[in-house]
Chain A
């Protein structure tokens, strides 16, 4: 992370997806020696502001009132093009298309208003073996315009399924942490009816037109049997459902365990942890398929922040 590169403007996600598709095609033709190290530079974009109409549409899609402050999930969407630019660099060792979102950890340090001018910085870290391929973490930091105050920090863990890089050890099955233990579903506190258009609706408000979320056809082209809900749709929705009575600083963490194939009925259970005086300390959540009881995701929202 020693060399930094400042992008002159916010990259366009659609162009990034095209680049990624082109890179995948070239990769297929020219089987060059695999790169096994992450690029050391962090990418940065300055002067970023939220678009009020997109922000409004995003909040409304989550069923929440549109405020002047940005929902935590929306900040991920706002910053995502920078993270994606990191992953489409020529020397990035993993193919972007088909990458699976495993986990997202966010520290929301301070409220961000739609009028705030932001500096967004992203880099990759922790390239590691996984039982099903290779995983990598993308760190995104959102700061004020001067870059002096950290406002939001997210760490996304992605899996390039079926990609094994030389020199990276696969974790042994015992330590892989598959969490496939018996799950007996609790009483749901909510049920989400997700229509086939859930992926497209989220793409429209987040700008993330990843083909695996858009339609059955585009998902099949990338090897999935049907389109799947965007992990960040689920994360944004559950985090805003829980909310935080102390919205100044909080953190959240979500692990995605199985994709939500659309359409779907998702059961959700939220439980609070309270302090001795009844004050809110945090909430845990689990979501599962209402029919098969397979866990889709689980995680927590916690008052205050930690550094992931």
Chain B
């Protein structure tokens, strides 16, 4: 009797163990797909967010043979989103060849949307909640939502509630000419009224970043991206859409002379200290990206490649409203925390992907990390955080050349870095490591650590 009982107990215990999450398992990047990014008003001027996200998803499905496949979860988002697109990602899934039993959700964390999607889904994979996932993002600056004025909106809502004809007439009579002007979205920060460029201009000046240094970074971005296209690096990362095969912002023939001729567009009130031009700032862009994530078991069972592990991620935010830090400086704090948690220093990173919202953003971040006082007083270190080897920074180009469709940039960076790490393989007997850093509106930032398989 007692032996039977103990046998039953043992059986049920092992059954429970097999159903429970097996500790933390690995989440891997299988690959990615994006459409070429287009300058606003260009090739995708009449394409909606749903069109572009579906196009990016179509290419991913085709590349990895996911037709009729039920994916664990798909998460994506758009920063500029029509209210009718409340289920944008699920709608894109339904329009794709993925199995209709694939759940999906929208999320939005400004320019860090794609990063947060990938980190959140990787965590679900690590916990054993799902075996596969697609992270994505899309943005259209061309097909942006335009709302009616606040006055007209209130009147229209009141009108829908009015019952009698007389009541309706009274509501309609409230409309004034000023109510008829539309309300277009802007990149201004709601709390400061400053555009992102104006904010960065202040930070750029604060860190004494020169015009030449910014133009050099912009030029390197164009040259590196063009070279990567030329050696077919993006062949398995990009699917043409609407006749576009490369990012339309890419200027392979750019030069320091050409960049030097451009007039400052941000921080003009700074006078001679105004250094930010259309050449060293990202333009408004349309585009979409997707990344396929999986557990090792799922990738193996589907005979799919495993490029890199998603090791860890970290979000951060700064108090820019009170002027304590620059709007786009959150990664300057998030990266040191992420690396410390993983026992790493900047010198241990083989590839850096630092999103080029503006050349000034990247250079201000690097300057802060090299600054002893910043390291001591703001990061709580003994001295400067460290130096980024410029030979490891954005070596296949970044947003200054490719453009930056807000929510789509995270997916572009993750897929690009994962492929770079996979090609690099081992460094000094350990897997190659890569770091992604993305700043975002609202004084936020999301950073992540990847590792070659």
Interface residues of A (CB under 8 A from B): 52-53, 56, 59-60, 64-68, 114-115, 243, 245-247, 279-280
CA distance A171 to B95 in the complex (A): 43
Convert B16-46 into 0s and 1s, putting 1 for each residue whose CB lies closer than 8 angstroms to a CB of A. Answer: 0000000000000000000000000000001
A66 and B51 contact, CB distance less than 8 A = yes
Is B50's beta carbon under 8 Å from chain A? yes
Do B243 and A115 touch (CB < 8 A)?
yes
Q: B156 interface residue, CB < 8 Å from A? A: no
30 A/B residue pairs, CB under 8 Å, sorted by A: A52-B242, A56-B46, A56-B47, A59-B51, A60-B48, A65-B48, A65-B50, A65-B51, A65-B54, A65-B55, A65-B92, A66-B46, A66-B47, A66-B48, A67-B55, A67-B58, A68-B240, A68-B241, A68-B242, A114-B242, A114-B243, A115-B243, A243-B97, A245-B67, A245-B97, A246-B67, A246-B97, A247-B97, A279-B68, A280-B68
Closest CB in chain A relative to B91 CB, distance in Å: 8
Closest to B49 in A: A65
Q: Assuming A53-B46, A56-B46, A56-B47, is B68 touching A65 (CB within 8 A)?
A: no
CA–CA, A279 and B70, complex, Å: 12
A68 to B58: give the CA distance in the assembly, Å: 10
Q: Which of chain B's residues have a CB closer than 8 A to the CB of A56?
A: 46-47, 51
| A interface, over-half SS | loop
* Residues of B contacting A52 in the complex (Cβ-Cβ under 8 angstroms): 242-243
CA–CA, A53 and B58, complex, Å: 20
Contacting residues, chain B, for A59 (C-beta < 8 A): 51
Nearest-neighbor residue (CB-CB) of A115 within chain B: B243
A76 to B151, CA, bound (A): 45
Chain B contacts for A68, CB-based, 8 A: 55, 240-242
Complex interface: chain B residues within 8 A of A114 (CB): 242-243
A243 (CB) vs chain B CBs: closest residue: B95
The interface residues of chain B lying within 8 Å CB-to-CB of A247 are 97
Closest 4 interchain pairs by CB?
A65-B54, A66-B51, A65-B51, A245-B68
A103 to chain B, nearest CB (A): 27
Give a binary string over B78-107; 1 marks a CB under 8 Å from any A CB, 0 the rest: 000000000000001001010100000000
Residues of chain A within 8 A of B55, CB atoms compared: 65, 67-68
Docked complex Cα distance between A2 and B242 (Å): 39
Verify B54–A67 contact, CB threshold 8 A: yes
> Within the complex, what minimum Cβ distance (angstroms) separates A6 from chain B?
28
